[in-house]
């Protein structure tokens, strides 16, 4: 009884026959009777799922951000097929005098060792000198000659190979996949050794090391789930006070996780930096659903047949649980509109995995309840009896403060919207973090080295300018002079650290031959350089990195900058085309070439730039899909609109908190909106399902709210605690982006629950225009409408 009105749906006094005689009830009855077959089926499927789950690898490289069908990605791959690909890295050898005999001896030994490693190309001032002189030995005379060579031109300094107190080795790693990268870097580190004697430091920089760091950090991802499991154990024992119930929960969670990750393995999936969120989302969604189902199951009156009550409980919760899982699935499926590969994969994986979860919770879990004989509240009292008092107290409090609660929620939500999208003249949109270095721990040596050397070296961001002409056109003297002019213009352009092309190599060859390091002005000298080029390309690997072999129809310039975000690369693109236009004007022969900028660095920035559109598009699609789910379930206009208030409030306020503490959008935090909306909508579905269930009986707002809180409120509370606690486990992550995702998601889940128990009932009071129930002259409850 709620407030004197009989509760016909709570399972405490209602008739079970309608539920038992329904088609769904008969289906569940048969399914529960065949529980032994159900358990055998899962025992047969589980090893297969585990096998494929173990095949899922880990790759946190930024290449995984890119959708393989992206036109810019395809152009970059075509470029690499012509000029060779690979990952760029730099080794910095630090010394007070980098040209002293012992330092050059160590440098020479390191470089020779690096050149012996498969799939590694090493280039330095010393290797250029060694090739020109047909060898090098670290004798005092040759070291002195090498010093004179390296310091006698600014070509090497502009390329970052020779700096004050540093000699650099540029590496190109032709590796495929994280395992090959890790093995190659381990060999490189073994060759480098430790700094000793006059060598003050050996510093490694570049994207391969960043990717390896991210891979190593994410190997701890399974540890994130340990706190979640402990949390489920503690909460389960505290709430249901039964080890048998706990075992049923843990087995069901383990099977759902194995099936989900097994599906990813069957699909050939690879975990990335955001992938640990996939199994965690499955676990928290499954746990929340189990809490809803089992809370209804344990609500069994004394004297009622447990098996009949189990069928009733599953029939009663079937629509709400199915709708909530479906809403979560379609919410994540909306992420498939993203152009960011891991985000798109995550959407698909979670959506399919939730379908497997739905099957499991309605088949395996009830079988385990029966086999393990999990107790009901008639057999063992449950915890949180205080919630009954809370359910009595809350409806009238939310009525009293209804306007304040609703307007406060709207105000905070507006602040959150401004925080994320900005407001003209008031606040700029939230900063989008695109630099992969910012994913690293601030106390790591690699992060410290990158921050130290970024102002010193020309940059670590590489953009290739791809020039395509006709057969043999690159070796034409006028073309080479024009390319030199273009390279010089680019190198002088603001924001460009270095521009390296075929003419740099040809100038270096002239410098080694005693002809100076400038491009010749004499036409006959240019003719000779062009003739030399045709003979050098087949025999010089470095030249083949800049000139298409055999056809000599294509060439490229490597532009090194400190650009990070998409706007900087867009500005660089504009600069490249402006300088190209100027060079074409000075050398009309260049007009026959087609220019295209390519490269993984600008491609990564482009992908990162799409984070905000991903947020907006996927979030908007999620709202539409979940709204449609509500339309099918509730068929009530007010419910459809009101049910989304808590989640939207939580998400927007969470963004305000993120902005206030100085965090940014990144590949992880961008997913919070869809994650929270898709997951927390479960609570609103269960809330409105039972609220409208009571309203259809003609009950008042207060009675319906109290009924909802008694039936679903306790489950909402504990499901939210589980959700928040599960995602808070990511706070243990090494990567700041993943830590931020965990903390902010937990905050958003708690905010959603606060809105469930405050703004949502307050808004229902306002829209219904009812007052709380009061005793009439007959002693029965009555509901009075407000005037007007």
DSSP 8: S
User: How do 166-173 and 162-163 pair as beta strands?
Assistant: antiparallel
How would residue 62 be classed by pLDDT, with cut points 50, 70 and 90?
A: low
Within its chain, how far is the Cα of 537 from the centroid?
Answer: 43
Cite the beta strand spans of 49-187 per DSSP E. Answer: 57-58, 87-95, 120-124, 162-163, 166-173
Summarize pLDDT for 723-760 with one digit per residue, the tens: 888 888 888 887 888 888 889 999 999 999 999 999 98
Within its chain, how far is the Cα of 433 from the centroid?
Answer: 12
Reduce the secondary structure of 749-762 to three states and give it as a string.
Answer: HHHHHHHHCCHHHH
How many Å apart are CA 439 and CA 708, to the nearest integer? 43
**CA angle, residues 161, 162, 164, in degrees to nearest 5:** 140
**Contact (Cβ atoms closer than 8 angstroms) between residue 679 and residue 284:** yes
**Contact (Cβ atoms closer than 8 angstroms) between residue 163 and residue 54:** no
Least confident of 58-67, 458-467, 619-628, 704-713: 58-67
Summarize pLDDT for 323-375 with one digit per residue, the tens: 888 878 887 887 787 777 777 888 899 999 999 999 999 999 999 999 999 98
- Residues composing the chain: 788
**Contact (Cβ atoms closer than 8 angstroms) between residue 283 and residue 256:** yes
**Contact (Cβ atoms closer than 8 angstroms) between residue 681 and residue 639:** no
**Contact (Cβ atoms closer than 8 angstroms) between residue 552 and residue 471:** yes
Q: What average pLDDT does this structure show over 491-511?
A: 90
For residue 54, give every residue at least 6 positions away whose Cβ sits within 8 Å of its Cβ, in sequence order, or none. Answer: 265
Tokens standing for residue 643: 């049910």
Q: What is the pLDDT at residue 60?
A: 64
**Contact (Cβ atoms closer than 8 angstroms) between residue 555 and residue 503:** no
**CA angle, residues 310, 312, 318, in degrees to nearest 5:** 100
For residue 108, give every residue at least 6 positions away whose Cβ sits within 8 Å of its Cβ, in sequence order, or none. Answer: 126, 136, 138
In which residue are the tokens 């430790």 written?
Answer: 194
Tokens standing for residue 146: 């090498």
Q: What is the pLDDT at residue 6?
A: 35
User: How do 781-782 and 774-775 pair as beta strands?
Assistant: antiparallel
For residue 375, give every residue at least 6 positions away whose Cβ sits within 8 Å of its Cβ, in sequence order, or none. Answer: 240, 242, 244, 245, 298
Q: What is the pLDDT at residue 387?
A: 79
Q: Which of 173, 142, 147 has its CA nearest to residue 162?
A: 147
Summarize pLDDT for 249-298 with one digit per residue, the tens: 999 999 999 999 999 999 888 887 777 778 888 988 898 899 889 988 98
For residue 724, give every residue at least 6 positions away whose Cβ sits within 8 Å of its Cβ, in sequence order, or none. Answer: 745, 746, 747, 749, 750
Tokens standing for residue 92: 């910095």
Summarize pLDDT for 528-555 with one digit per residue, the tens: 999 888 888 887 778 888 999 888 999 9
Q: What is the pLDDT at residue 13?
A: 39
For residue 470, give every residue at least 6 positions away whose Cβ sits within 8 Å of its Cβ, in sequence order, or none. Answer: 553, 592
DSSP 711: I
Q: Which of 464, 466, 456, 465 has its CA nearest to residue 497?
A: 456
**CA angle, residues 429, 434, 439, in degrees to nearest 5:** 115
pLDDT at 8 over 50: no
For residue 628, give every residue at least 6 positions away whose Cβ sits within 8 Å of its Cβ, in sequence order, or none. Answer: none
pLDDT at 479 over 90: yes
For residue 4, give every residue at least 6 positions away whose Cβ sits within 8 Å of its Cβ, in sequence order, or none. Answer: 780, 781
The per-residue pLDDT of the chain, averaged, comes to 84
- Report the share of the chain in percent with pLDDT over 90: 38
Q: Which of 418, 430, 558, 561 has its CA nearest to residue 495?
A: 561
pLDDT at 404 over 50: yes
Q: What residues form DSSP beta bridges with 468?
A: 554, 594
CA distances from 581 to 400, 504, 521, 586, 590 (A): 71, 21, 22, 9, 9
pLDDT at 40 over 70: yes
How many Å apart are CA 180 and CA 173, to the nearest integer? 10
How many Å apart are CA 155 and CA 501, to the nearest integer? 12
pLDDT at 425 over 90: no
Tokens standing for residue 535: 């003979």
pLDDT at 781 over 80: no
Within its chain, how far is the Cα of 235 from the centroid?
Answer: 29
Q: Which of 122, 245, 278 has its CA nearest to residue 188?
A: 122
Highest mean pLDDT of the ranges 39-48, 172-181, 280-289, 492-501: 39-48
**Contact (Cβ atoms closer than 8 angstroms) between residue 639 and residue 244:** no
Tokens standing for residue 566: 């998409």
511/540: higher pLDDT: 511
**Contact (Cβ atoms closer than 8 angstroms) between residue 221 and residue 13:** no
How would residue 640 be classed by pLDDT, with cut points 50, 70 and 90?
A: low
**Contact (Cβ atoms closer than 8 angstroms) between residue 325 and residue 260:** no
Q: What average pLDDT does this structure show over 93-107?
A: 95
Q: Is 394 left (phi over 0), alpha (psi -120 to 50) or beta?
A: alpha
**Contact (Cβ atoms closer than 8 angstroms) between residue 13 and residue 7:** yes
Highest mean pLDDT of the ranges 318-332, 476-490, 673-687: 476-490
How would residue 503 be classed by pLDDT, with cut points 50, 70 and 90?
A: very high
What percent of the chain is helix, strand and coil (3-state, nearest 5)?
A: 65, 10, 25
CA distances from 429 to 21, 420, 608, 609, 655 (A): 57, 6, 15, 13, 11
For residue 18, give every residue at least 6 positions away whose Cβ sits within 8 Å of its Cβ, in sequence order, or none. Answer: none
């Amino acid at each position: 009884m709620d407030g004197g009105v009989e509760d016909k749906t709570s399972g405490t006094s209602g008739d079970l026959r309608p539920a038992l005689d329904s088609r769904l009830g008969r289906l569940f009855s048969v399914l529960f009777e065949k529980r032994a077959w159900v358990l055998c089926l899962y025992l047969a499927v589980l090893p297969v799922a585990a096998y494929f789950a173990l095949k899922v690898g880990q790759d946190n490289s930024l290449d995984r951000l890119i959708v393989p069908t992206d036109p810019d990605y395809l152009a970059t791959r075509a470029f690499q097929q012509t000029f060779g690909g690979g990952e760029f890295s730099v080794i910095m050898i630090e010394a007070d005098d980098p040209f002293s005999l012992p330092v050059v001896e160590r440098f020479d030994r390191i470089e020779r060792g690096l050149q012996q490693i498969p799939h590694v190309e090493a280039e330095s001032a010393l290797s250029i000198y060694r090739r020109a002189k047909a060898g090098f030995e670290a004798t005092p005379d040759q070291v002195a000659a090498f010093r004179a060579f390296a310091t006698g031109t600014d070509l090497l300094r502009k390329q970052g190979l020779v700096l004050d107190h540093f000699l650099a080795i540029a590496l190109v790693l032709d590796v495929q996949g994280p395992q090959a990268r890790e093995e190659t870097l381990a060999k490189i580190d073994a060759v480098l050794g430790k700094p000793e004697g006059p060598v003050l430091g050996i510093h490694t920089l570049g994207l391969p090391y960043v990717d390896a760091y991210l891979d190593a950090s994410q190997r701890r991802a399974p540890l994130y789930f340990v706190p979640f499991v402990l949390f489920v154990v503690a909460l389960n024992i505290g709430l249901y006070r039964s080890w048998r119930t706990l075992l049923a929960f843990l087995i069901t969670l383990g099977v759902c996780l194995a099936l989900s990750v097994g599906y990813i393995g069957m699909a050939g999936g690879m975990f990335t930096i955001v992938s640990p969120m996939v199994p965690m989302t499955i676990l928290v969604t499954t746990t929340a659903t189990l809490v809803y189902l089992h809370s209804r199951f344990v609500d069994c009156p004394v004297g009622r047949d447990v098996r009949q009550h189990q069928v009733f409980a599953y029939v009663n919760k079937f629509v709400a649980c199915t709708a909530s899982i479906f809403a979560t699935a379609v919410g994540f499926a909306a992420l498939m509109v993203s152009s960011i590969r891991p985000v798109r994969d995550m959407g698909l994986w979670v959506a399919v995995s939730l379908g497997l979860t739905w099957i499991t919770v309605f088949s395996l879990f009830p079988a385990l309840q029966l086999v393990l004989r999990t107790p009901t509240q008639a057999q063992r009292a449950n915890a949180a009896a205080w919630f009954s008092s809370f359910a009595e107290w809350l409806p009238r409090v939310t009525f009293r403060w209804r306007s304040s609660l609703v307007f406060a929620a709207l105000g905070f939500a507006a602040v959150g919207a401004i925080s994320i999208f900005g407001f003209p003249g008031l606040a700029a949109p939230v900063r989008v973090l695109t630099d992969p270095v910012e994913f690293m721990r601030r106390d790591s040596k690699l992060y410290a080295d990158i921050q130290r050397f970024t102002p010193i070296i020309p940059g670590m961001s590489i953009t290739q300018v791809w020039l395509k002409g006709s057969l043999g056109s690159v070796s034409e003297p006028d073309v080479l002079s024009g390319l030199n002019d273009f390279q010089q213009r680019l190198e002088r352009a603001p924001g460009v650290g270095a521009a390296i092309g075929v003419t740099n190599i040809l100038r270096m060859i002239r410098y080694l031959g005693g002809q100076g390091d400038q491009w010749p002005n004499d036409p006959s000298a240019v003719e000779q350089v062009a003739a030399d080029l045709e003979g050098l390309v087949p025999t010089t690997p470095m030249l083949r990195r800049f000139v298409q072999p055999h056809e000599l129809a294509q060439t490229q310039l490597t532009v090194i900058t400190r650009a990070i975000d998409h706007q900087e690369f867009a500005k660089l693109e504009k600069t490249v085309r402006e300088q190209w236009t100027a060079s074409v004007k000075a050398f009309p022969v260049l007009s026959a070439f087609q220019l295209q900028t390519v490269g993984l660095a600008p491609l990564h920035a482009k992908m990162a730039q799409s984070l905000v559109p991903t947020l907006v598009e996927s979030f908007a699609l999620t709202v539409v899909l979940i709204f449609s789910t509500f339309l099918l379930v509730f068929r009530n206009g007010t419910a459809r609109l009101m049910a989304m208030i808590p989640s939207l409030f939580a998400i927007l306020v969470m963004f305000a908190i993120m902005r206030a503490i100085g965090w940014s959008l990144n590949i992880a935090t961008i997913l919070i909106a869809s994650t929270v909306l898709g997951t927390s909508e479960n609570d609103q579905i269960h809330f409105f399902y039972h609220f409208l269930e009571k309203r259809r009986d003609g009950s008042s707002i207060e009675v319906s709210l109290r009924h909802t809180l008694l039936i679903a409120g306790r489950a909402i509370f504990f499901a939210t605690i589980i959700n928040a606690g599960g995602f808070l486990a990511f706070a243990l992550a090494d990567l700041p982006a993943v830590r931020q995702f965990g903390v902010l998601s937990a905050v958003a889940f708690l905010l959603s629950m606060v809105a469930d128990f405050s703004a949502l009932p307050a808004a229902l009071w306002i829209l219904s225009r009812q007052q709380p129930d009061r005793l009439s002259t007959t002693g029965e409850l009555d509901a009075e409408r407000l005037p007007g």
